[in-house]
Amino acid sequence: MDDTAAIHNILLERDAVGFVARDWNLVKDDFDDDMFMGSSAENGPLRLIYPTLESYRDSWLRQARELEGCDPVTLKRQLLEAMSLRTVEILHGRALVTKVIKGQLDGPAGPIKLDWVTYYFLRCDQRVNRWKITGFVGYLAHDWKVSTS
């Protein structure tokens, strides 16, 4: 599997499968535990909300449990339809990936709108020849841009 396909598998397929199953063990090896951190711009300015992988794991599992009762086949399909990778930039064993999340889920209490962009940072662990997520900046509006100056 080439690098882009491996990253695609991590950020789309395995993420959706693990999330629907509410099983962190299916995705835990996709993260670099020592280097991980996650930031969010949801509901305001950019903030460091996941200083550790454990804090992100707990939030990920909580969000997954909130969808308990949804048909898993439908939920997986809707997640995969809502997610896409806009860009995958790979240089010297590092990757910057733009993941677009735009769609809707049939939640237990009604429709759930998904509408944001997340920038993921990954590195290739040369010891095991595997890509690992080192962090992300997420829940950004679609028109959010990185400054080039």
Total-model pTM: 0.91
Q: Is residue 147 part of a domain?
A: no
Q: In the chain, how many domains are there?
A: 1
Q: Is residue 146 part of a domain?
A: no
Report the pLDDT averaged over residues 99-114: 94
Q: Is residue 148 part of a domain?
A: no
Q: Is residue 84 part of a domain?
A: yes
Name the residue range of residue 79's domain: 3-140
Q: Is residue 118 part of a domain?
A: yes
* Mean pLDDT estimate for the chain: 93
Quick one: what percent of the chain has pLDDT higher than 70? 95
Where residue 136 sits, what CATH number does that domain have? 3.10.450.50
> For residue 99, what are the β-bridge partners?
85, 118
Task: Report whether pLDDT(121) > 50.
Answer: yes
What is the per-residue pLDDT across 22-57, written as a single tens digit (0 to 9) for each? 999 999 999 999 999 999 988 778 899 999 999 999
Q: Is residue 71 part of a domain?
A: yes
Task: Tell me what pLDDT residue 149 has.
Answer: 46
